[in-house]
Chains A and B, each alone.
Chain A
Amino acid sequence: MSLLTLENVHSYYGRIHALKGISIEINQGEIVTLIGANGAGKSTTLRTISGILHPKQGRVLLKEQDISHMEPHNIVAAGIGHVPEGRGIFPNLTVKENMEIGAFTLNDNAEIARRMDHAVTLFPRLKERISQKGGTLSGGEQQMLAIARGLMLQPSVLMLDEPSMGLAPVLVELIFDIIKQLNEQGTTILLVEQNALMALSIAHRGYVLQTGEIVISDTAANLKQNETVQHAYLGVE
């Protein structure tokens, strides 16, 4: 049984039909990646799962529970973490406050402190910056903070939207190492990436999105060998 399921999901931005019947399954313990060009509907898929958008048709299921029409804050509480595109750091809150906000639905202060300790062992840089304002961090540090913040509620599925965006190659590798490490520790991950090669190198399975529809779905290894994928997304001539 899959952990997170999208069944024939249709989403709209106003009148724009952004997702045209998307079906996705994510199993416990997997890294699943969505790849596709700009505007293919990758971020829209994540926003539909986390409740910022509601599907006009179709269902989103977390385990057995239909979450299609729940509000974002309830979906977070149900166990889906979403690290948004552009990181969504609160610029005027400190690093510590950003992480505390990540655990907003949790009321046990000792537990919050324990999780924060765990998060900063993954990203030691955040420890040095702990009382700095979020807006003063570099892009890479902000991405680390965004992921650390996303882990504060220990979600059953962590969705990451373009974690490599705007980062130096060295930082991209660091971030991807950590994503892999998180997965090995048991977090199920849904990864949206423009950097398809990078994404496929750590993912178990992948879906290729094109103008709101899934055109290919396969294991990561097979996708890397797929000619269409190689040509369109991996830069192989």
Chain B
Amino acid sequence: MKRFSETINVRELLRPIGQMIAFSLGGGAVLSLVVVLLALLLDQTAVGQNLQARYSVSLVTYTLANLPQVLIDGLTIGFVYAAIALGYTMVYGVLEFINFAHSEIFAVGAFVGVEILIALKNAGILSAASLGVAYLILLLALLAGMTASGFLAVAVERIAYRPLRGAPRLVPLISAIGVSFFLQDIIRLVESLTTGQFNRIIPTFGNFDERLIFGQLPLGATTVVLGVQIKSLIVILVAVIMLVGLNYLVNATKIGKAIRAVAQDRPTASLMGIDVNRIISITFLIGGTLGGAAGVLYALKFTRIDPFVGFFPGLKAFTAAVLGGIGNLTGALLGGIVLGLLETFAGAFMSAFTMGAAGAEYKDIFAFGILILVLIFRPNGLMGENVSQKA
């Protein structure tokens, strides 16, 4: 038997936590600075006067008052994106292939989790649950979503990608898009046969919708309440635990070493006695599990899901993966957090800064504008390595 300290590599546990804190604080600080400076500039112009006239509040005050909530919301969605992005980036790392069905793997996780909660609600268990039981039930829904998505991802690889392993790169990509539509319609079919409706709403239970209040910040005429919705905290916490776990698995375990070896040189990895197909299945299992958990967390945060719920988060997580440098785990983390913050900031402040000309509905311009800029100016992403190094 080995001693505990020998088996646990503490450094690999702390490193990703440090990275996440750095990315969150760094991204949040930069964006906060930008909006506050913009607000200071625009306050003297028609934009500020307009706001002053309508709500008798200065643009700077408005911005500062909204900032804490925007930061929390941005981080919440950012961590969800990061968890999904890791699924894209891991599969890309091993197979150099974008699994476009990953957004539906995410959606299936969301549906499984939500349907379980709805079933428990209909059975009367949810309303009778004490607080502790409510958290256990949420954990159960999470684990169910993770399991379903994990095994679905493995099955999709087996059926739709593995037979195409030797084919030109475009072929499995088209297959992935086919799987994506197929799964979307399967969700629709199953939902319409069983429930007769496509939109599902996560039941309200536990104390997840309550807000924790930390204090109040007087700001001129207004007072800003500093608080966090409990479900936002849960989303961030669960995501952080998963991301740390994944980092540990990849960087400090034997399986992780095999995953990295397969990613770098598949034929040679097989000559080392590594069962490459098994490692690829494990990669899909991990990516799918993270995606499923992200689905349940997304449903918890945004309450309503439909069969197309995977499309936009999937596309944005893909953008996040490219932004950070596809194939790079730390990059996916950075990309997810930055993208989540960026689009939430855009959604929150665009309307005020443009006098209502461009509202929150245009926030996606930022996400996909970033994708285009990255592809043009830094195709390897922010943390991407030189592609030639891989060969």
Contacts and interface: CB of A to CB of B under 8 A. Distances in A.
Contact of B260 (A71, A84, A92): A92
Interface residues of B, number: 20
Interface stretch (B121-129, B178-186, B273-281): B273-281
Contacts of A73: 270, 272-276
Task: Identify the interface centre among A50, A73, A76, A97: most chain B CB within 10 Å of its CB.
Answer: A73
Contacts of B11: none
Contacts of B389: 91-92, 135
Interface stretch (B83-91, B261-269, B337-345): B261-269
Given A90-B261, A91-B389, A101 B267 contact: no
Contacts of A105: 273
A72 interface: yes
Contacts of A102: 272
Interface in B218-274: 254, 257-258, 260-261, 264-265, 267-274
Nearest to B385: A92
Interface in B58-105: none
Interface string A133-155: 00100000000000001000100
A91 B390 contact: yes
B103 to A, nearest CB: 29
Chain B interface, DSSP helix/strand/loop, else mixed: helix
Contact of A104 (B2, B264, B267, B273): B273
B261 A101 contact: yes
Contacts of A91: 264, 389-390
Interface in B344-391: 389-390
Interface string A147-168: 0010001000000000000000
Interface in B263-317: 264-265, 267-276
Contacts of B275: 71, 73
Given A97-B257, A101-B257, A101-B258, A90 B268 contact: yes
Contact of B258 (A52, A84, A104): A104
Contacts of A77: 273
A52 B270 contact: yes
A39 interface: no
A93 B260 contact: yes
Nearest to A76: B273
Contact of A101 (B2, B274, B276, B390): B274
Interface string A59-85: 000000000000111001100001010
B261 to A, nearest CB: 5
B235 to A, nearest CB: 32
A50 B273 contact: no
A90 B264 contact: yes
A213 interface: no
B271 A100 contact: no
A76 B260 CA distance: 19
A1 B265 CA distance: 36
Contact of B271 (A50, A92, A97, A109): A50
A92 B264 CA distance: 8
Contacts of B260: 90, 92-93
Given A91-B389, A93-B264, A72 B270 contact: yes
A90 B265 contact: yes
B271 A72 contact: yes
A88 interface: yes
Interface string A103-120: 011000100000000000
B257 A100 contact: yes
A84 B268 CA distance: 7
A88 B270 contact: no
Contacts of A50: 271
B325 to A, nearest CB: 14
A71 B257 CA distance: 20
A43 to B, nearest CB: 12
A82 B271 contact: yes
12 contacts: A71-B270, A73-B272, A84-B267, A90-B261, A90-B264, A90-B265, A90-B268, A97-B257, A100-B254, A102-B272, A104-B272, A109-B2
Interface of B: 2, 254, 257-258, 260-261, 264-265, 267-276, 389-390
Given A77-B273, A90-B260, A104-B274, 4 more contacts: A71-B270, A88-B265, A92-B264, A101-B269
Interface of A: 50-52, 71-73, 76-77, 82, 84, 88, 90-93, 97, 100-102, 104-105, 109, 135, 149, 153
